[in-house]
């Protein structure tokens, strides 16, 4: 039994470049129209730190459109997840650009007090935007998918009422930030965890439904589409050490290809689904929610997306949300 959850990270470029209208509002609007036509819903992972800072410094007049769009999503049954780029909160705006505070890049490595402050602030902003004092997102996605070391952030999120994380991509390895999701390769389609997001724990306080990946020979990573999109949003601060670490990340025979709606070709998207479909035929009673990721800033190829949605329909694979699959994942 397969269901596909479409998640979209709702944000401008991580280094603060780009406009809200062009990189967030307009692509999200087109996506909403397509999903409405299919009578389906997606999960928008709203990166709240940048929105709060952009609003506070009045640096982008499209912020009101964005807030209105978020409210509309909520009203129309699109799911809102919490996404956090913590490097925004101490960012400074100077000479027309943003200077992010990269010392706060990985929320998980910050002191407990700072983690609490940032998470509470982000939820409070989302509540203000929605005008709902009790709103609590069901799901969370870490900035740059960094959810290690896990324990403190997992506890703070669970105490607030968040139930699901979707930051893991099985097989992921990123030396520079000490991210290692290779041990999650042995896990199923979802699992509970507390201390380490890689380690299933039956009594776990959060549920992980990872971004789906497929392990492929490393050279397959370098398609024209993927490289073009990555180049567009590349950060300008690549230090020598960071680059060397990135090279180390790719020195593997097989590499996890993320189920990415924006970066994959139609052939790759279909290949991912067909692989799960074959597994499912062996054991159709097992529940297989598969999470796809995308970014509003990368949403340019709507034709591929529409063809892929038709393919899912042909295969009778429903489009779902975390809200809808959650009751079937807890045990």
Tell me which residues touch Zn ion (CB under 5 A): 9, 11
**Closest Cα to residue 106, out of 49, 140, 148, 157?**
148
Angle at 166 between CA 52 and CA 148, to 5 degrees: 85
**Closest Cα to residue 265, out of 221, 315, 216?**
221
**Closest Cα to residue 321, out of 7, 1, 84, 69?**
7
DSSP 65-108: HHHHHHHHHHHTT-EEEEEE-GGGTT-EEETTEEE--GGGS-GG
Report whether 172 contacts 213 (CB < 8 A).
Answer: yes
Q: How far is CA 15 from CA 85, 88, 237, in A?
A: 10, 9, 9
* Start-end of H helices in the chain: 20, 26-37, 48-57, 63-75, 112-130, 151-160, 224-232, 240-250, 266-282, 302-314, 322-329
CA distance 287 to 272: 17
**Closest Cα to residue 296, out of 26, 16, 66?**
26
Angle at 235 between CA 234 and CA 239, to 5 degrees: 120
Angle at 297 between CA 321 and CA 57, to 5 degrees: 105
| Orientation of helix 63-75 relative to helix 26-37, angle to 10° | 20
**Closest Cα to residue 139, out of 165, 112, 172, 104?**
165
Between 3 and 208, name the residue whose CB sits nearer to Zn ion: 208
CA distance 80 to 126: 9
């Amino acid at each position: 039994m397969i269901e596909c959850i479409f998640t979209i990270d709702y944000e401008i470029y991580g280094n603060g470049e780009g406009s809200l209208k062009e990189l967030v509002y307009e692509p999200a609007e087109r996506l909403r129209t397509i999903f409405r036509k299919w009578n389906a819903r997606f999960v928008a992972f709203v990166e709240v730190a940048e929105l709060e800072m952009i609003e506070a410094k009045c640096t982008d007049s499209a912020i009101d459109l964005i807030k209105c769009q978020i409210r509309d999503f909520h009203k129309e049954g699109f799911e809102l997840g919490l996404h956090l780029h913590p490097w925004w909160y101490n960012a400074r705006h100077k000479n027309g650009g943003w200077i992010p505070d990269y010392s706060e890049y990985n929320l998980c490595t910050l002191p407990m007090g700072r983690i609490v402050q940032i998470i509470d602030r982000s939820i409070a902003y989302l509540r203000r935007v929605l005008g709902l004092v009790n709103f609590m997102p069901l799901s969370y996605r870490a900035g740059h998918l960094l959810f290690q070391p896990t324990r403190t952030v997992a506890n703070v999120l669970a105490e607030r009422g968040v139930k699901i994380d979707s930051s893991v991509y099985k097989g992921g390895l990123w030396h520079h930030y000490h991210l290692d999701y290779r041990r999650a390769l042995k896990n199923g389609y979802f699992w509970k965890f507390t201390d380490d997001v890689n380690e299933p724990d039956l009594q776990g306080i959060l549920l992980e439904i990872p971004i789906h990946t497929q392990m492929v020979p490393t050279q397959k990573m370098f398609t024209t589409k993927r490289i073009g999109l990555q180049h567009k949003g590349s950060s300008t601060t690549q230090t020598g050490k960071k680059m060397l670490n990135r090279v180390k990340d790719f020195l593997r025979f097989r590499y996890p290809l993320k189920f990415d709606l924006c970066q994959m070709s139609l052939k790759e998207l279909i290949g991912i689904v067909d692989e799960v479909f074959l597994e499912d035929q062996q054991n159709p009673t097992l529940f297989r929610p598969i999470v796809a990721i995308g970014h509003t800033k990368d949403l340019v190829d709507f034709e591929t997306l529409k063809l892929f949605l038709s393919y899912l329909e042909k295969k009778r694979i429903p489009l779902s949300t975390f809200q809808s699959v959650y009751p079937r994942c807890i045990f």
